[in-house]
Amino acid sequence: MNRIDGRKNNQLREIFLERRFQIHPAGSAIIEVGNTKVICAATIEDKVPPFLKGTGTGWITAEYAMLPGSTDPRAVRKSTGRAAEIQRLIGRSLRAVTDLSTFGERTITVDCDVLQADGGTRTASITGAFVALVEAFTTIYEEGKIFPVKDFVAAISAGFTPEGETILDLNYAEDSEALADCNVVMTGAGEFVEVQITGEKNSFSRADLNGILDLAEVGIKKLFDIQKNALGDLAWHVGQIA
Amino acid sequence: MNRIDGRKNNQLREIFLERRFQIHPAGSAIIEVGNTKVICAATIEDKVPPFLKGTGTGWITAEYAMLPGSTDPRAVRKSTGRAAEIQRLIGRSLRAVTDLSTFGERTITVDCDVLQADGGTRTASITGAFVALVEAFTTIYEEGKIFPVKDFVAAISAGFTPEGETILDLNYAEDSEALADCNVVMTGAGEFVEVQITGEKNSFSRADLNGILDLAEVGIKKLFDIQKNALGDLAWHVGQIA
Amino acid sequence: MNRIDGRKNNQLREIFLERRFQIHPAGSAIIEVGNTKVICAATIEDKVPPFLKGTGTGWITAEYAMLPGSTDPRAVRKSTGRAAEIQRLIGRSLRAVTDLSTFGERTITVDCDVLQADGGTRTASITGAFVALVEAFTTIYEEGKIFPVKDFVAAISAGFTPEGETILDLNYAEDSEALADCNVVMTGAGEFVEVQITGEKNSFSRADLNGILDLAEVGIKKLFDIQKNALGDLAWHVGQIA
Amino acid sequence: MNRIDGRKNNQLREIFLERRFQIHPAGSAIIEVGNTKVICAATIEDKVPPFLKGTGTGWITAEYAMLPGSTDPRAVRKSTGRAAEIQRLIGRSLRAVTDLSTFGERTITVDCDVLQADGGTRTASITGAFVALVEAFTTIYEEGKIFPVKDFVAAISAGFTPEGETILDLNYAEDSEALADCNVVMTGAGEFVEVQITGEKNSFSRADLNGILDLAEVGIKKLFDIQKNALGDLAWHVGQIA
Amino acid sequence: MNRIDGRKNNQLREIFLERRFQIHPAGSAIIEVGNTKVICAATIEDKVPPFLKGTGTGWITAEYAMLPGSTDPRAVRKSTGRAAEIQRLIGRSLRAVTDLSTFGERTITVDCDVLQADGGTRTASITGAFVALVEAFTTIYEEGKIFPVKDFVAAISAGFTPEGETILDLNYAEDSEALADCNVVMTGAGEFVEVQITGEKNSFSRADLNGILDLAEVGIKKLFDIQKNALGDLAWHVGQIA
Amino acid sequence: MNRIDGRKNNQLREIFLERRFQIHPAGSAIIEVGNTKVICAATIEDKVPPFLKGTGTGWITAEYAMLPGSTDPRAVRKSTGRAAEIQRLIGRSLRAVTDLSTFGERTITVDCDVLQADGGTRTASITGAFVALVEAFTTIYEEGKIFPVKDFVAAISAGFTPEGETILDLNYAEDSEALADCNVVMTGAGEFVEVQITGEKNSFSRADLNGILDLAEVGIKKLFDIQKNALGDLAWHVGQIA
């Protein structure tokens, strides 16, 4: 069976990922996954949340929001439970590949602002935020030290269609129809950081879960190449030990 | 290696689950999982969110909050991103086993208020909320109709210890140490509704994930018996076809 | 004339008061007055409000809230004017029997959360909060010092029925019918701390007021015994001079 | 012993009360009690709170706030628990002398804004709000109907000094020193509507309470004359039966 | 053509401006421009906004609000975009004639509270706030130093009528009809501080703008005399060099 | 004297303006003025604010916000007084060239979100919002009717440098240094819609004002060409009479 946009089941949408989209933040990137477009900006501040004060350890946090014109109908400007959930996921994903003890009592805030939404905004945010984060760290990196980011991290969605197909990188129309929807976050070393699978319209078996994870793994490996390409010379910092 | 409280790796904490804890709501339950204690109250209102108006379909939503004295240090009374994430999970889990087309344009709000927290408050909330939900539906159920709740649903956590053990039903001390933490929501039919696995301190392999799911499945099956016991005569409504 | 629940005019409802209901706060209690149930948790923090900084004096404050399932219809989770009024009353009542100069620049916050409401939640909160407060102070008390709590304090309601009866400890149904409703807070020494009498449906004479105060005095004396019983060995600290 | 401003113990401060201070509201008044100055504005809207919809009954509510320049230090513009408590008291006092069934499904909002504070702002608000309320009702009153306001209502404070004196109408300096502080709301018929007596620094006996009430009664009777004078021709409406 | 209230096109309404209206703030004034009445209170605090900490420079800010009874219909108590816009304009106008480097790291907050609105509340606020500001500075002024206020500042509105007349000092009825509405802020030296001209119903030419500015200049010069009169002996401080 | 970026005093920065930047809103545009970049999205809803209900008249409103990464330091996500002021200006400017009686009881909301800020974000927002607005109206326009937009509208800033130069289209560095800053909004017919000129650091004369307006007029005429180019075939709708 054919997908709405003619893709194969295991095929990603066309992806554009470029760093330095904004001039002010320490790190920034724009990621386009089909019609989904997200700006990621990483800012460094010399302070940490109260629970880290005096520990010498830094923090990474994220904020996620949708521009009013990013959806139809218009997205009202207010903080939602969904946004809270997504920004916590982005923050955990980035912290999972970062050594928080290596950059002092600083906070990196990664803002992911959705310019246009067509499914997969949270996974696109993670993939793009990683590039902004690496770029930001290079602005404070001192030669000969451990680079704070230990490995690549990227994310993709996968799910089942009502026709029983397992498909990769769902757009909005596919996501609305899907029986189960999975977001997978994975490291460059091939291990999982986070797996979230939800079957609001249908429950699913262990076999279903395994099929989805297989597909996600294929997709994420391609994302690492796209991230490396966007980082260019900055890519070699990742995982670098002093 | 022994667990802090002497349990086996695949052993649940002592669980107490009783319905009708509060007299005012249509359905109510208290669940105690070791030192974790949650009150669940299901209230029925004759209205639905805007997106369902005129569809003839009902809705189930949840609210989750911690009493100030439930934790040390004191939990400040304010809505957090974590609470938003948890209440969305509870709502999805309950909707997954409910036929929303069977009870008209009504909203069931299930309030999960944590009296005391010692790990596993979100999974205890789901397990207890199910009992309150079934009790609430019996107050509007008309003989000969389809009962809105199609199957049992319950949830448990599992995780890895730094020593490489896979353990079931983590208390707060275990959760703080765990390398990865998984929340599994499952139906009476043995299928998954939601799997969320997070490795903030460590990434994890497919084999790790499978080990955790095996353990969770064992635990959840015991929870169904505890739910049936708490529901008593009301249990037979679940999954009943007119 | 008989009361709804068969009590005599000067009779309290059945009262259950137990300390150490929650394990995390420094002091905690649950109080049940008939169907009214309130959890009281006293937490100690090493800071004071701005107006006390540098004075060496401590502070006692209270927060009061109703769980959504505590009433019918459901109590929406939001701060109300009524809650503000009640938590200020609880705070004043506790401060009236405490020597704020004896425990340094610390704040004790007493959270009163209503699990179930059937009239008299504010007076039950004061009576229960006192037990939580004493328990909390014992955790920081040093032998040979003055104990901060100088005397017992408890509270009860009384009112007139439309039939002209003066009754003690009104439940919700009685309170809704009452022409005037009075909340009395009294010390162990038999003096008043606060008297609030309101005649929204009817004004009242000096003689009416005196009749109500007589009844309240009778009720509160019984509450002191119940508080002593709940405190057990901790009770002798109260009013103890170094 | 002499009072700070040379008054006798049972003497009110100089009082100025005038209606029609603002041109826009249906009713308005300014009241000055010594240096305390409050503007009262009564507005009529053709709607009632949800709990009264369809009952044919009206509602009276109040809002109370302090202008930033009314106190030293500056009063920050925000809603406080104290303001919530006071505006609820004003609303109850006005409703106590009004027949809510006589003016249809309308809400009268009485705004009490403190221009300058020197003690007694809540009692001045009640006394002034009454005048604004009567004026407002005359704008919708139809000849031959029952006038909604059944009786006069006014309020005053009284208290004990540390020297054991019972004094009337405390200014801010006296209030700050007082061992107990009482607010009394009374009807023209000489009955109480509300008595609130608080002994934050000291508890008090029944005899103390009686002494305070005697004094308050004397003061309030003078306020009724001042209200009648301010209302002029409008005064005869009060308590008028069709 | 005659104006509603019989004024000539270049005629101000009757203006009353008096300082020391409130006793608590360091500076205070009441200004009445026809039926428009505004209280201005200037408070001094020993702190500055974050961006000025450590610079030795002070700050002047303003808050603007309408009392609920100031308009018909009743003005709801909440912060609006319009109020934000106006209070920023007041702050800029006062800062334009003040040397912020002369009074240390202090903040002067000028609260402009509208008691009654009949057009021109923002310009009346600026004219009155100036008097309160000067009065406030005299309380901290040390002989022989530079007085912080360098020049007078006042403001007035002007506009076009649909009949093509250019008129000064519009009341509410005139403002509602006007094709274009202009607010002009000017210094004692005759230069502009701020010109805001808006043609929501109609665009306007350069000639129109010049006509309006001519009229405003005439009006503002009269306001300086009124300010000097209200300041009395304090007026000579303005622009005084050590 | 040379400007920072080598421009002549009367020279605009390089401008890029393109419609249809986002696929979901009825109208959308991106405008880049040098490093300043703003997305404008116009959404149509079938409802009007309360004050227009039943009048048959539509409404145009605007929202303005800065993305966190648009400035250095990071712009915190919260509504500010400055944003309120700007979005009111955008709304007024668009309404000035629109016939609100021609498109029924609908509201057009134009969201202006600043991706990157380098001075002139409010004027860029107006210029870009116009294009999005016209595009949005074409989606509901019926042949033979009056097109709601009657004329072009665009905006630019101009100001004085400390060296006494009058310059057009200030970037952030120039704006920070400027003695006076002016925003001019003008129609295609060459009349003003809004002139706002502020001299926080310096007052200014009538001659100064005229010099600034001359420069602004030159700049805005070039903006009309850029708008026409961006609108392409849609441009002829503007000002079209049925």
Please write the tens of the pLDDT for every residue from A54-93: 999 999 999 999 999 999 999 999 999 999 999 999 999 9
Task: Tally Cβ neighbours within 10 Å of residue D209.
Answer: 20
Q: Across the interface, do C194 and D193 touch by the CB < 8 Å criterion?
A: no
Q: Which chain F residue shows the shortest CA-CA distance from E205?
A: F191
CB D43 within 8 A of CB E68: yes
**pLDDT over 70 at F111, yes or no:** yes
Helix (H), strand (E) at residue B155: strand B153-160
Residue among C197, C218, C231, C214 at smallest CA distance from C129: C231
Rounded to a whole number of angstroms, the CA Rg of chain C reads: 18
The residue count of chain E comes to 242
pLDDT at B202: 83
Residue D157's closest CA among D96, D205, D200, D216? Answer: D216
Task: Tell me the helices (H) and strands (E) count for chain C, helix number first.
Answer: 4, 9
In the predicted model, is pLDDT for residue C202 greater than 90?
A: no
d(CA B169, CA B196): 14
The verdict on a CB contact (< 8 Å) between F69 and A22 is yes
Q: Quick one: pLDDT at residue C1?
A: 59
Mention every residue, 6+ apart, whose C-beta is less than 8 A from residue F176. Answer: none
For testing contact with chain F, the best of E203, E217, E220 (most F CBs within 10 A): E203
| pLDDT above 70 as % of chain E | 99
Give dist(CA D58, CA D50) in Å, integer: 11
Interface test with D, best of C122, C126, C195 (most D CBs within 10 A): C195
- The better pLDDT of the pair F144, E102 is held by E102
3-state DSSP assignment of residue D208: helix
The rounded distance, in Å, linking the Cα atoms of F59 and B113 is 44
Reported as a pLDDT band with limits 50, 70 and 90, residue E143 is confident
Give B213→chain C minimum CA distance, Å.
32
Residues E210-215, mean pLDDT to the nearest whole number: 95
Q: What is the CA radius of gyration of chain A?
A: 18
Instruction: Dump pLDDT digits (tens) for C1-10.
Output: 579 999 999 9
Count of CA atoms in the C-beta half-sphere (13 A) of E207? 1
Residue tagged 């802090």 (tokens): B4
Name the residue facing F69 among A28, A68, A71 (closest C-beta). A28
Instruction: For tokens 């002007």, name the residue.
Output: E158
Contacts with A189 from chain B: Cβ below 8 Å:
203
**B201: closest CA of chain A, how far (Å):** 6
- Give the residue from chain C lying closest to D199, CA to CA: C193
Please tell me which residue of chain C has the smallest CA distance to D85: C85
* ∠ Cα F229 F232 F234 (to 5°): 130
The pLDDT value recorded for residue D2 is 79
- Residue type for position E215: L
Q: Which residue has the tokens 């301190």?
A: B201
Judged by phi (left if over 0) then psi (alpha if -120 to 50, else beta), residue B144 lies in: left
The yes-or-no verdict on residue C242 having pLDDT over 70 is no
Is the pLDDT at A155 greater than 80? The verdict is yes
Residues in Cβ contact with F77 at an 8 Å cutoff, skipping those fewer than 6 apart: A63, A65, F68
D87–C84 C-beta distance less than 8 A:
no
Beta strands in chain D (DSSP E): 15-19, 27-33, 36-45, 59-66, 107-116, 153-160, 166-168, 180-187, 192-198
User: Average pLDDT of chain A?
Assistant: 95
Q: What percent of chain A has pLDDT over 90?
A: 91
What does the pLDDT average to over A220-235? 97
Q: Tens-of-pLDDT digits for all 242 residues of chain B?
A: 579 999 999 999 999 999 999 999 999 999 999 999 999 999 999 999 999 999 999 999 999 999 999 999 999 999 999 999 999 999 999 999 999 999 999 999 999 999 999 999 999 999 999 999 999 999 999 888 999 999 999 999 999 999 989 999 999 999 999 999 999 999 999 999 999 999 867 889 999 999 999 999 999 999 999 999 999 999 999 998 76
Residue D188 C-alpha, separation from nearest chain E C-alpha, in angstroms: 27
Look at residue C201 and tell me whether its pLDDT is greater than 90: no
Chains E and D touch (3+ CB pairs under 8 A): yes
**With 70 as the cut, is the pLDDT of residue D111 above it?**
yes
Question: Which residues face F157 on adjacent strands?
Answer: F183
Is the pLDDT at E240 greater than 90? The verdict is no
Any chains having at least 3 CB pairs less than 8 A from chain E are: D, F
Candidates B87, B189, B201; nearest CB to A203: B189
Chain B residue numbers with beta carbons less than 8 Å from the beta carbon of A198 are 92, 193-194
Between A180 and C123, the more confident residue is C123
**A191 neighbourhood in chain B, CB within 8 Å:** 199, 203-205
**Is C35's CB within 8 Å of B25's CB?**
no
State in Å, rounded, how far the first CA of chain E is from the last one: 51
Q: Which residue of C187, C189, C204 is in closest CB contact with D191?
A: C204
- Helix ranges (DSSP H) in chain B: 81-96, 121-138, 172-177, 206-231
Which pLDDT does position B98 carry in this prediction? Answer: 96
Q: Does D214 score more than 70 pLDDT?
A: yes
Contact C82 D88 (CB under 8 A): yes
% of chain F exceeding 70 in pLDDT: 99
Question: pLDDT tens digits for F18-43?
Answer: 999 999 999 999 999 999 999 999 99
Average pLDDT of chain D is: 95
Give C-chain residues touching D195 at CB under 8 angstroms. 195-197, 209
Over the stretch C14-72, which tens digit does the pLDDT of each residue have? 999 999 999 999 999 999 999 999 999 999 999 999 999 999 999 999 999 999 999 99
pLDDT band at D238; cut points 50, 70, 90: very high
Q: How far apart are CA D115 and CA E118, in angstroms?
A: 20
pLDDT value, residue F202: 83
Residue located via tokens 């650091």: F201
- What was the pLDDT predicted at D201? 77
Longest Cα pair distance anywhere in chain F, in angstroms? 58
Instruction: Check CB contact under 8 Å for B194 and A195.
Output: no
Distance (Å) from the alpha carbon of A208 to chain B's nearest alpha carbon: 10
Contact list in A for residue F117 (CB cut-off 8 A) is 24
**pLDDT of E10-61, one tens digit each?**
999 999 999 999 999 999 999 999 999 999 999 999 999 999 999 999 999 9
Please check whether residue C97 is in contact with residue C148, taking contact to mean a CB–CB distance below 8 angstroms: no
Question: Residues F76-89: pLDDT tens digits?
Answer: 999 999 999 999 99
Instruction: For chain F, state the CA radius of gyration.
Output: 18
Q: Which of F39, F69, F73 sits opposite A67 (nearest CB)?
A: F39
Q: How far apart are CA F40 and CA A68, in angstroms?
A: 10
Closest Cβ–Cβ partner in A81, A189, A209 for B195? A209
CA distance C63 to B195: 37
- pLDDT at residue B183, rounded to an integer: 97
pLDDT tens, residue by residue, F129-157: 999 999 999 999 988 899 999 999 999 99
What percentage of chain D reaches a pLDDT higher than 90?
91
Contact E191 F213 (CB under 8 A): no
Do F210 and F120 touch, CB atoms closer than 8 A?
A: no
Question: Is there a contact between C197 and D192 if contact means CB atoms under 8 Å apart?
Answer: yes
Compare all CA atoms of chain A with the CA of B211 and give the residue at the minimum distance.
A206
Per-residue pLDDT reduced to its tens digit, F214-223: 999 999 999 9
pLDDT attached to residue E120: 98
| Cα–Cα distances in angstroms (integers) from residue B38 to residues B118, C33, D63, in the given order | 11, 22, 38
Average pLDDT (A111-137) is 98
Give the global pTM: 0.94
Nearest to F202 by CA among B66, E96, C42: E96
Taking contacts as CB-CB distances below 8 angstroms, the residues of chain E near D117 are: 24
Give dist(CA B132, CA B230) in Å, integer.
10
Considering only alpha carbons, which residue of chain F is nearest residue E64? Answer: F81
pLDDT digits (tens, 9 = 90+) for C117-167: 999 999 999 999 999 999 999 999 988 899 999 999 999 999 999 998 999
For residues C166-177, one letter each, b for 16 or more C-beta atoms within 10 angstroms of the residue's C-beta and e for the rest, the string is bbbbbbbebeee
pLDDT at B1: 59
D166 pLDDT above the threshold of 80: yes
The per-residue pLDDT for range E186-199, each reduced to its tens digit, is 999 999 999 999 98
**Tens digit of pLDDT for each residue in D15-53?**
999 999 999 999 999 999 999 999 999 999 999 999 999
Hey, what amino acid is at F7? R
CATH number 3.30.230.70 is the correct assignment for the domain at C15-232: yes
| pLDDT over 90 (residue D200) | no
